[in-house]
Each structure stands twice: as C-alpha cells, then as structure tokens.
Amino acid sequence: MNTEVIKSDNPVALPHAVDVLKNGGLVAFPTDTVYGLAAISSSVEFIERLYAVKSRESTQAIAILLSSPAELDKVSVKPSKTALDLASRFWPGPLTLIVPRHPDLPDILSPNHTIGVRVPDHALALELLRLAGPLGVTSANISGQENTNTAQEVMQQLNGRIHLVIDGGKSPGSIPSTVVDCTTPDPVILRLGPINLEDIHEAIKN
C-alpha cells in the first residue's frame, strides 16, 4: 500500500479524507493533543483494520471523537451529570470521558459497555468530524511506540500501513488527553494529561 500525504491547506484534503474513510481507509490527522488515526466507527470491518494496523490488543478500547458536545447522544445512553458537567466545561479540549456505550455502536470498539468520547479543540479535526461523522480514533502510532506529533513521525511508523495522512504541521498539545471514567458514582481519573486533577474536581464541585 502507498500511503498518501496531503497538506491540510489543500482544498481537497478534507473531502478526500472523507472519501477514503467511507471506503474503509484509515486516515491520520492532527488533533489538539497528538496525531490521531481514524476509521468510521459504525463499521466492524473498518475498526478491525484499525486494530490490525496498530498491532493493538482487542482488549484496548477505541475512543470516539465527535465534532460537538451535542453529538454525545449518538454514542452514549444516559451519560451521568458528572459527564455532562465535564463536557460542558472542557469540550472542545483534551478530555476523554468514559460513558455508557450506545447499543448501536459495534462491540469491537470496547470490551465492555462503556466508550471513551472526546471533542478535540482543533479546527481541522472538528471539520473532518463534521463532514465524516463520529470516528473511531486512536493515536497514530504502532502500539507501544512513541506518540506522533507530526506527519513525518506518523510516516516513520505507519508508512505503507495506512491510506492517508493529512499534514497539518506539528500537533499543538503533544500530550494525550486526560481520561476520566464517569460511569461510577465518583469519577475516576484513568490517565492524567493536559487537564489536571484540580481542574476536574473544581468542575465537578461547581
């Protein structure tokens, strides 16, 4: 497979990316944290390809990225007040919320009945998500290797494995998102990232 690289300012970049995604391809693109690797979230076959390309264990869930907080009901059923409060405070931004998974989503996305969800604070990513709909997205790297922050770094690991890389320069955040489990009575921080513990507790308290 030849991996295509296209500059983000190319007027055909996003329409082409959507076409690639809808035909089962995998697309890497910059977000506000690190470069992400996306597949259409509603297709078991496409998500299987995402796992295979990354050499990712099937026990590790794939998060969903949305273009806006208003889309949360597409991927989750009855998210908690805590989840809604945190989404209101930090989305778009580097916060992934673990919420009850919508039954229409493929089981392959998660080994249990929850799903990680985020709205990235990145204009290109948001426009891609608006055009393509919710996407299954994980970091654009081989599992266990370094996260990627540029298109060049993505190519070093995934050249020949994926269909398209959108080169949007260096990702501004460089650190994966904070992850908070909102499915328990008291939210649990599963991974610290750009949003710290104090910020989380302050948002919940208010």
Q: Is 15 helix (H, G, I), strand (E, B) or coil?
A: helix
Could you report the per-residue pLDDT of 138-152, keeping only the tens digit for each?
999 999 999 999 999
Are 134 and 122 a contacting pair, CB within 8 Å?
no
Residue 47, CA distances (Å) to 81, 108, 142, 144, 166 in order = 30, 7, 15, 19, 19
Task: Return the H-helix or E-strand segment holding 138.
Answer: strand 135-139
pLDDT score at 174: 82
Could you report the per-residue pLDDT of 91-134, keeping only the tens digit for each?
999 999 999 999 999 999 999 999 999 999 999 999 999 999 99
- Number of folded domains that form the chain: 1
For residues 9-23, give the mean pLDDT: 98
108: containing domain: 4-205
pLDDT score at 206: 65
pLDDT score at 39: 98
For residues 188-201, give the mean pLDDT: 91
Percent above pLDDT 70 for the chain? 100
* pLDDT, mean over the chain: 95
Task: Return the H-helix or E-strand segment holding 92.
Answer: none
With residues binned 3-state (H G I as helix, E B as strand, rest as coil), the percentages for the chain, rounded to 5, are 35, 20, 45
Q: How confident is the model at residue 205 (pLDDT cuts 50, 70, 90)?
A: confident
Q: What is the CATH number of the domain that holds 65?
A: 3.90.870.10
**Distance in angstroms (rounded) separating the CA atoms of residues 147 and 36:** 9
* pLDDT at position 201 over 90: no
Residue 37, CA distances (Å) to 76, 82, 144 in order = 21, 28, 15
Percent above pLDDT 90 for the chain? 90
Q: Is 85 helix (H, G, I), strand (E, B) or coil?
A: helix
Could you report the per-residue pLDDT of 22-36, keeping only the tens digit for each?
999 999 999 999 999
* Torsion 155-51-66-4 (CA) sign: positive
